[in-house]
Structure 1
Amino acid sequence: MNAPLDDAGTPGTGGGCPVPHGDTDTLTRLYGPEASDDPHGIYARLRARHGSVAPVLLEGDVPAWLVLGYRENRRVLENPRQFTRDSRIWRDWKEGRVEDSSPLMQMVGWRPDCVSQEGEAHRRLRAAVTDNLQAAAGRGIRRHVTRFANKQIDAFAAAGSADLVGQYAEYLPMLVLTRLFGLAEGEGRRLAHSCAQVIKGGEEAVAHNDRIMEILGELAARKRVEPGADFTTGLLSHEAGLDDGEILSHLRLVLIAAHTTTSNLLARVLQLLLTHPSHLTGLVSGQLNISAVVEEVMWNTPPLSVCPGRFATADLELGGRQVKAGDLLVLGLAAGNLDPEIRPDASTTLHGNKAHLAFSGGSHECPGQGVGQAIIETAVDVLLHRLHGLRLATAPDELTSTASTWESRLDRLPVEFTPQVV
């Protein structure tokens, strides 16, 4: 869980707007067919043309700055006084060029949660989330992962083949989260689909967000009457005294961030193991630790490619660009991790180096890293113990991914193995 969380708008003409009014063709769009096919190619071309900070267009042709450089990403992440998460200062929204109904607002709009706040308000709300994530991790989370992982595997073990994205990684984290939240197991697949649509964006994002909020609202109401040993009850009873809006916003925040990033990361870890036989052999023999595999994926294919968003609190310079107060910046985590200024050779293995950007950074760094790590480690362990002779069922270069503005997800991971009698 490495990411913060959380048709509209014509490009503005304010002092910080990186594109003249109406002149959208001069800028690169981070959405649409080209972006979904080759996001890394787009990052490379933007870096070659603009350097470490590039003007881009988000969904609805909304202008923003994409931060490509590693050092520039660190500066933004670690200086909340210059770059705030509070989108209420966003000039294009304040001046009416981005409507509240825009799908983009599902990712960058203000909510009464810790992601949208700074200072004491942020510390109060984040404490409630962190305390209850730690409590959830201590309530046998690996046991829950083991149970649901085996249940998923049982469904395809006799076939001798499977798609480890659609039949395993895509839903397993949500099944675990339903247990941690106190939700019914049957809600898992519906919520997983809705979370994916919110991240993907498009016309359906708002409707799917409404569906998530409806389910979580019913959950919070039930837990007030029937408390339990779960994350929801913990938020309701925390000493920070969250109100109803704060409760719902944090349930949404953790659910979407935890599921989408952990499912994506699990799929990428399995991809790395199956396309690099030495990694799989090393893991099975005990010569390679799963945490080292996860770190390698965090550097090369972080679960969020682009992190929304920060807003400049004053006119300033970043990466040679003149950023104006109220400008939106989005953080290129994948591009920053591959910045040639810090990684001249991108093929170099970085085992033991945890300085990647995948967990964001600064005061908003992901508080749920331990939970995500436990889900992935246990899910991989169960899979390797259950499926003998596990191997990729296609050529590695035939594996494809589909990207949105914010992430690049593996489409399929077909495998074969010795069939089992369940």
Structure 2
Amino acid sequence: MNASPDRPLQPPSGCPVAHHGSEPARLYGPEAATDPGSIYERLREEHGSVAPVLLEGDVPAWLVLGYRDNRRVLDNPRQFSRDARIWRDWAEGRIEETSPLIPMLGWRPDCVSQDGEPHRRLRAAVTDGLQAAAARGVRRHATHFANKQIDAFAGAGRADLVQDYAEYLPMLVLTRILGLPEAEGRDLAESCARVLKGGEDALVHDARIKEILGRLAERKRTEPGGDFTTALLEHPAGLDEDEVVSHLRLVLIAAHTTTSNLLARVLQLILTDTTRLTGLIGGQLTISAVMEEVMWNSPPLAVLPGRFAAGDLELGGHRIQEGDLLVLGLAAGNADPEIRPDTGVSVQGNQAHLAFSSGPHECPGQSIGQSVIEIAVDVLLHRLPGLALAVPPEELGSTASTWESRLDSLPVEFPV
């Protein structure tokens, strides 16, 4: 569907800026790439717990900033549907089919695009397949690939733990889970990153992912194995070809991008705080406790796409109209001063963060991602005693897209 020249994109119709003449904040562009947190806080001050924003291509949406409002949206699919077919701007032809938002927001025949019974049917296939994969040795795969990655730089005394470790390790584990050749891992990791980043080549990389996974599904029909792809093909839910490929894509992108980002942030926290590093090495602190802290303060998805209002309603003091797009501010919600007035207070043992979403669409593979990270950190610290950050902590930088903020690099040094 093409944007009509006589129907330009406008802010959501219930949006206060439509009446006051000011423009909503953009969740893309230079400021959003370098300091998204300041945008969230400015929007909270100006609009409260829900704010009008523009996504890439100046597509209007509501950003949910409040913790309680995020929970309300995530836990109530009858009011806030995941079905993009009711997205008014799409249905009325104001979104280009070539929009870089489509890989993140468009409707697909997978469980995250549907609610109710269709969702339950498809999610059961995904959950059963992931449980079977986890039982077949995720921790063993993670240990194998963690050691293999470390072998490549262990003799150098220096490494970048983003590019040399966190960026690809989860994808290598996923190749085993899905039944892909290991050689496909690096190209798929790059394509996943491009889809999340957005921009004009997001659709190209999304098509590349689907092409590779389509060939995988075709091969597994004649050469089944003990992998997630075979589990989907053979599940009693009877998934068709498009459903199988869509779910392979969903698991690949979601699992890799969130796990690699979370792993990098966990390593950053450990290496910029010697008390945490000492606690892990001495056994007084667990990796899961560090992960919990990171999931509160730097969730791997800062903004979750998306929900669509199933009817006219009120949220955060704003009038939301049927068909409006809402995106979930997970990072902003975790820092909501109404539930967390002092972000310096320890969150150890508190798993009420939004990092894994909530409600019927809560991440079904979170335990697998956490297992990969636990193994990755444990193997790294045991293999490289004396591991230390090679630059001052303040020199570490991040680059954000609409959906996530990723650590640029993590230079380290260690005795050889």
TM-score past 0.5 threshold: yes
Aligned to 1:233: 230
Shift in alpha-carbon separation, 1:115–1:18, aligned structure 2, 3 A: farther
Shift in alpha-carbon separation, 1:19–1:48, aligned structure 2, 3 A: closer
Q: Deviations over 1:296-344 (max 9, x none)?
A: 0000000000000000011110000000000000000000000000111
Does the residue aligned with 1:311 lie in a helix, a strand or coil?
A: strand
Whole-Å Cα distance in 2 between the matches of residues 337 and 117 of structure 1?
Answer: 26
Whole-Å Cα distance in 1 between the matches of residues 354 and 3 of structure 2?
Answer: 30
Matched AA of 2:197: K
Whole-Å Cα distance in 1 between the matches of residues 291 and 230 of structure 2?
Answer: 31
1:130 aligns with 2:127: yes
Identity of aligned residues (%): 73
Aligned to 1:115: 112
Whole-Å Cα distance in 2 between the matches of residues 188 and 202 of structure 1?
Answer: 22
Whole-Å Cα distance in 2 between the matches of residues 242 and 201 of structure 1?
Answer: 29
Structure-1-length-normalised TM-score: 0.96
Aligned to 1:376: 373
- 1:394-413 → structure 2 map (5 Å cutoff): 394-413=391-410
Does the residue aligned with 1:101 lie in a helix, a strand or coil?
A: coil
Q: Deviations over 1:149-197 (max 9, x none)?
A: 1110011000101000000000000001011111110000000000000
Q: Which of residues 58, 74, 78 in structure 2 aligns to 1:77?
A: 74
Shift in alpha-carbon separation, 1:312–1:289, aligned structure 2, 3 A: same
- 1:186-335 → structure 2 map (5 Å cutoff): 186-335=183-332
Does the residue aligned with 1:54 lie in a helix, a strand or coil?
A: strand
Whole-Å Cα distance in 2 between the matches of residues 213 and 77 of structure 1?
Answer: 27
Whole-Å Cα distance in 2 between the matches of residues 326 and 16 of structure 1?
Answer: 11
Q: Which of residues 355, 360, 363 in structure 2 aligns to 1:363?
A: 360
Q: Deviations over 1:113-164 (max 9, x none)?
A: 0000000100000000000101111111111111111110011000101000
Q: Which of residues 4, 10, 13 in structure 2 aligns to 1:12?
A: 10
Aligned to 1:147: 144
Is 1:54–1:66's contact at 8 Å kept on the other side of the alignment? yes
Structure-2-length-normalised TM-score: 0.97
1:168 aligns with 2:165: yes
Is 2:11–2:24's contact at 8 Å kept on the other side of the alignment? no
- 1:80-119 → structure 2 map (5 Å cutoff): 80-119=77-116
Q: Which of residues 166, 177, 180 in structure 1 aligns to 2:177?
A: 180
Does the residue aligned with 1:159 lie in a helix, a strand or coil?
A: coil
Aligned to 1:4: none
Does the residue aligned with 1:55 lie in a helix, a strand or coil?
A: strand
Whole-Å Cα distance in 2 between the matches of residues 248 and 345 of structure 1?
Answer: 44
- Please identify, of 97-106 and 193-202, the stretch whose mean Cα deviation from structure 2 is larger: 97-106
Is 1:11–1:20's contact at 8 Å kept on the other side of the alignment? no
Whole-Å Cα distance in 2 between the matches of residues 18 and 183 of structure 1?
Answer: 49
Whole-Å Cα distance in 2 between the matches of residues 13 and 32 of structure 1?
Answer: 18
Does the residue aligned with 1:331 lie in a helix, a strand or coil?
A: strand
Whole-Å Cα distance in 1 between the matches of residues 12 and 297 of structure 2?
Answer: 36
In structure 2, the gaps of 5 or more residues are none
Residue 26 (structure 1) shift: 1.4
Matched AA of 1:242: L
Matched AA of 1:11: L
Whole-Å Cα distance in 1 between the matches of residues 164 and 13 of structure 2?
Answer: 49
Whole-Å Cα distance in 2 between the matches of residues 349 and 36 of structure 1?
Answer: 28
Residue 12 (structure 1) shift: 3.3
Q: Deviations over 1:17-55 (max 9, x none)?
A: 66549x6x6111000111001000100100011110000
Matched AA of 1:329: L
Is 1:165–1:410's contact at 8 Å kept on the other side of the alignment? yes
Residue 16 (structure 1) shift: 3.9
Is 2:272–2:393's contact at 8 Å kept on the other side of the alignment? yes
Residue 410 (structure 1) shift: 0.1
Q: Deviations over 1:83-118 (max 9, x none)?
A: 000010000111111122211011010000000000
Shift in alpha-carbon separation, 1:163–1:98, aligned structure 2, 3 A: same
Does the residue aligned with 2:155 lie in a helix, a strand or coil?
A: helix
In structure 1, the gaps of 5 or more residues are 1-6
Does the residue aligned with 1:180 lie in a helix, a strand or coil?
A: helix
Shift in alpha-carbon separation, 1:348–1:98, aligned structure 2, 3 A: same
Aligned to 2:28: 31
Aligned to 1:353: 350
Matched AA of 2:309: A
Whole-Å Cα distance in 1 between the matches of residues 105 and 25 of structure 2?
Answer: 19
Is 1:18–1:63's contact at 8 Å kept on the other side of the alignment? no
Whole-Å Cα distance in 1 between the matches of residues 148 and 379 of structure 2?
Answer: 11
Is 2:309–2:326's contact at 8 Å kept on the other side of the alignment? yes
Does the residue aligned with 2:314 lie in a helix, a strand or coil?
A: strand
Q: Deviations over 1:324-380 (max 9, x none)?
A: 000000000000000000111111110000000000000000000111011000000
Whole-Å Cα distance in 1 between the matches of residues 247 and 216 of structure 2?
Answer: 13
Is 1:399–1:413's contact at 8 Å kept on the other side of the alignment? yes
Does the residue aligned with 1:345 lie in a helix, a strand or coil?
A: coil
Matched AA of 1:12: Q
